[in-house]
Amino acid sequence: MTGMMTNRELMLTLGRAGREAAKVLALAPTRQKNDALMAMAAKIRRSAGDILSENARDLENAKAKDMKASFVDRLTLNEARLEAMAKGLEEIAALPDPVGQVMAQWTRPNGLAFSRVRVPIGVIGIIFESRPNVTADAGGLCLKSGNAAILRGGSDSFHSSGAIIACLQRGLDTAGLPRTAIQMVPNADRDCVGLMLEGLGGTLDLIVPRGGKSLVARVQADARIPVFSHLEGICHVYVDKAADLEMAKRVVLNAKMRRTGVCGSAETVLIDRAAAEKNLKPIIATLIDAGCEVRGDKAAQEADPRVKPATQEDWSTEYLDAIISMKLVDGVDEAMAHIAHHGSQHTDSIITEDASTAERFLAQVDSAIVLHNASTQFADGGEFGFGAEIGIATGKLHARGPVGVEQLTTFKYQVRGSGQTRP
Amino acid sequence: MTGMMTNRELMLTLGRAGREAAKVLALAPTRQKNDALMAMAAKIRRSAGDILSENARDLENAKAKDMKASFVDRLTLNEARLEAMAKGLEEIAALPDPVGQVMAQWTRPNGLAFSRVRVPIGVIGIIFESRPNVTADAGGLCLKSGNAAILRGGSDSFHSSGAIIACLQRGLDTAGLPRTAIQMVPNADRDCVGLMLEGLGGTLDLIVPRGGKSLVARVQADARIPVFSHLEGICHVYVDKAADLEMAKRVVLNAKMRRTGVCGSAETVLIDRAAAEKNLKPIIATLIDAGCEVRGDKAAQEADPRVKPATQEDWSTEYLDAIISMKLVDGVDEAMAHIAHHGSQHTDSIITEDASTAERFLAQVDSAIVLHNASTQFADGGEFGFGAEIGIATGKLHARGPVGVEQLTTFKYQVRGSGQTRP
């Protein structure tokens, strides 16, 4: 069908179709969008056999290519994962609809009535690696927020994503919405990604990359349109001299070890030198006893012989593994200077019973999320109460922190008058 | 002083100094920022002689180069314009401080207390043409919103801007704030602009261009960091069949002729064919009698012999002059289709007594500002009640519409806990 088209023509066609669909979605009532989401979930459940057999094709190829076990695991679908995908769509249906919400309203002395109203962004491109579940998540979140989606999944999940997209499009159909509201790039050619990063001739408003550091780095470097992303999460926990030791042990352990592969996982613990005598040993022991490797400065190495020496590189490394770096600092000021220098403006936490030190940390650390006496693993849209999220953004403009349906909207000003002219 | 530096080194030095200043500004109390703004205003008044003699040097150069009268006018300073500049700074001091405002607050079932708090964006680059007054405006707005500013003015206003910057920096000094909070690029080399568009090695967060279409187009095309701007304002007034004719005449006249050179000036009037008999002639006559050239479709030409024929190009032209294009459309749907095709997503207005038609227009037209029964010339931060503005943005992300002090901020999440860990 697209045999005669160049990839450029093909992608521009997708972009224009997305733009047309976005016009319909912007005005679609909440009920219709929710109907589509529920129909998608039902269709995924009914099509489990088809999806799993397409997934089997992808898995066969991956095994033939000798891919890593963790890669194959992310690629693998099964009944339980399909059920989670369907449930995810139902949960998105249950979220409040951000579109049309009045964010602010005021009247000027001349009688003009201003409203700042949430509207969809338009057409959103999602570029992701071979995780088929992102297909449903990203499509559902874009739909709920009134945006058209153009999805470009990893080439190794091509057949799985295609089968899932078919279900999503059937759901759109059922609810009377255009199938082009959620489109998938129909081949795995790499130049299609480049065309998306250029903005598809002005039809694409935003790119969201979902995947590892090399994917995000490429998108950030090459995109000519806005990107919501984080390159890495080098999250810190600072244990102040006024910390409660039991709380510090519990929070540090959770911040690192609850899940080590997520962006909100802590990578460095900074310990206030003024209370190192009391806090250093027990915190190291808590981590090592739980199976975490600790790489520390001299003080940490002296406190526990199991601590390995940290190199300069460790302070800027996102391990995404059961490894943590640790060092002493001279109070909250050196801690904040360390975070400013080595952090990724993602999520950082202070443990202290001293309210004024905590407030200084919350005010001064320039990260999307700053916490007092809580684990960095709360960096998650669900934990914020946003419902599902499409990722975490560390850029400063528009969306910062978890990106849920509300963050996928923009706004416009509606001004209602009675014939006012400007003097 | 900078004789041995390359422009790259020079600009990176400016960027790093801006970043350092931004840290101080982010925490500066409102009182201190206002003290600086008031001191700047006082210093400008006291230095009128110096500023005017520097301005005379710029004017001499401009005349030697045989610049256009309108260019020379924008470049010219006098006592009244300096007084307006000083007053502008005092007005910025009187605005509420957006930094630290709590935008939202909620508590989760686990007891974590979330706050979404306004914070400055960081370091903002302003690239502007030879209008010396932008120096004080932009510097003042950035300071009030807690941002460091790096200003690059037009080379023809180099001496005037330099004299104004000296006053601003003296004001910063007086209030105990770093002089590097507002810096000026100390030469007129063009490659310095390119370096700003690249982001000064990651130290610049945002670019705001202030000037004509060619400047904005270059910035939009080449910037690798976010830009708040509008390329042009092709603003429409749609006169619906249910319009009150007297109101339509008054609003159309104001929308075009109040000031023809501003971005909110109307460039096209769309008249509903269903009431053309009644509305077309009087609206044309109102405009032409006020000295406006009307370029119309066949119906408009037939209605009044003074109407000139419109070409296809007219529908996409920002005249910034006493010229307007006019055509008949088949109701609000064709009007909205015309606006979607030819508009600039800036500001568009509908004149109608039919509330449901008005609501459709307000909902569907995808522009930053949509008005009902009011002039497009209200597209202005002051008219919105934002106080001073740095410009109007037509991009969809972060800032849309007038960009005042609030729009020059971002936010972060502060999360206060009591030892919560994530299950």
Mutate which of B198, B403, B421 to disrupt the A interface (most A C-beta within 10 Å)? B421
Q: What is the pLDDT averaged over residues A163-173? A: 97
Gap from A162 CA to chain B (nearest CA, Å): 30
- Report the first-to-last Cα separation within chain A, whole angstroms: 59
Q: What is the pLDDT averaged over residues B89-101? A: 96
Percentage of residues in chain B with pLDDT exceeding 70?
99
Gap from A52 CA to chain B (nearest CA, Å): 31
CA A186 to chain CA centroid, Å, is: 24
Enumerate residues 6+ apart whose C-beta is below 8 A from A75.
A55, A58, A59, A62, A67, A130, A131, A132, A156, A157, A160
Q: What is the pLDDT averaged over residues B133-150? A: 96
pLDDT (0 to 100) of residue B3 = 55
Q: Which residue of A has its CA nearest to B358?
A: A416
Q: Does residue A2 have a pLDDT over 60?
A: no
Out of A205, A251, A378, closest to residue B112 by CB: A378
Pairing relation of β-strands B235-239 and B323-329? unpaired
Percentage of residues in chain B with pLDDT exceeding 90?
92
Q: Does residue B306 have a pLDDT over 80?
A: yes
Percentage of residues in chain A with pLDDT exceeding 70?
99
How many Cβ pairs within 8 Å bridge chains A and B?
184
Q: State whether B254 and A422 contact (CB < 8 Å).
A: yes
- Give chain B positions within 8 Å (CB) of A364: 23, 26-27
Gap from A68 CA to chain B (nearest CA, Å): 29
Question: Which architecture, in CATH terms, is A7-228+403-414?
Answer: 3-Layer(aba) Sandwich (3.40)
Q: State whether A422 and B226 contact (CB < 8 Å).
A: no
Gap from A230 CA to chain B (nearest CA, Å): 15
Q: State whether B371 and A244 contact (CB < 8 Å).
A: no
pLDDT (0 to 100) of residue B313 = 97
ipTM given for this complex: 0.93
Task: Provide the residue type at A352 as one letter.
Answer: T
Q: State whether B364 and A27 contact (CB < 8 Å).
A: yes
Q: Which residue of A has its CA nearest to B368?
A: A412
Q: Which residue of B has its CA nearest to A222?
A: B224
Rounded CA-CA distance A150/B349 in Å is 32
pLDDT (0 to 100) of residue A70 = 84
Gap from A351 CA to chain B (nearest CA, Å): 8
pLDDT in tens, A399-416: 999 999 999 999 999 999
Q: What is the pLDDT averaged over residues B364-375? A: 96
Gap from A286 CA to chain B (nearest CA, Å): 15
- Give chain B positions within 8 Å (CB) of A398: 397-398
Q: State whether A27 and B363 contact (CB < 8 Å).
A: yes
Q: Give the pLDDT band of residue A162 (cuts 50, 70, 90).
A: very high
Enumerate residues 6+ apart whose C-beta is below 8 A from B118.
B98, B99, B100, B101, B102, B103, B406, B409, B410, B411
Q: Does residue B4 have a pLDDT over 80?
A: no
Q: State whether A417 and B358 contact (CB < 8 Å).
A: no
pLDDT in tens, B34-81: 999 999 999 999 999 999 999 999 999 999 999 988 889 989 999 999
Neighbouring CB atoms inside 10 A of B6's CB total 10
Q: What is the pLDDT averaged over residues B267-280? A: 98
Q: Give the pLDDT band of residue A1 (cuts 50, 70, 90).
A: very low
- Give chain A positions within 8 Å (CB) of B387: none
> What's the mean pLDDT when you consider all of chain B?
95
CATH class for the domain made up of A235-383: alpha beta
- Give chain B positions within 8 Å (CB) of A385: 106, 108, 114
- Give chain A positions within 8 Å (CB) of B371: 414-417
- Give chain A positions within 8 Å (CB) of B367: 412
Highest mean pLDDT among A59-73, B43-57, B208-222: B43-57
Gap from A336 CA to chain B (nearest CA, Å): 12
> What's the mean pLDDT when you consider all of chain A?
95
Q: Which residue of B has its CA nearest to A398?
A: B398
pLDDT in tens, A200-258: 999 999 999 998 899 999 999 999 999 999 999 999 999 999 999 999 999 999 999 99
Q: Does residue B401 have a pLDDT over 80?
A: yes
Out of A397, A401, A413, closest to residue B401 by CB: A413
- Give chain A positions within 8 Å (CB) of B412: 366-370, 400-401
Q: What is the pLDDT averaged over residues A319-340? A: 97
Q: State whether A374 and B420 contact (CB < 8 Å).
A: yes
Mutate which of A198, A383, A413 to disrupt the B interface (most B C-beta within 10 Å)? A413
Q: State whether A373 and B254 contact (CB < 8 Å).
A: no
Gap from B409 CA to chain A (nearest CA, Å): 9
Q: Does residue A3 have a pLDDT over 70?
A: no
Q: Which residue of A has its CA nearest to B393?
A: A412
Q: State whether B416 and A373 contact (CB < 8 Å).
A: yes
Domain-wise residue ranges, chain B:
7-228+403-414, 235-383
pLDDT (0 to 100) of residue B5 = 85
Q: Which residue of A has its CA nearest to B369?
A: A413
pLDDT (0 to 100) of residue B1 = 46
Gap from B86 CA to chain A (nearest CA, Å): 23
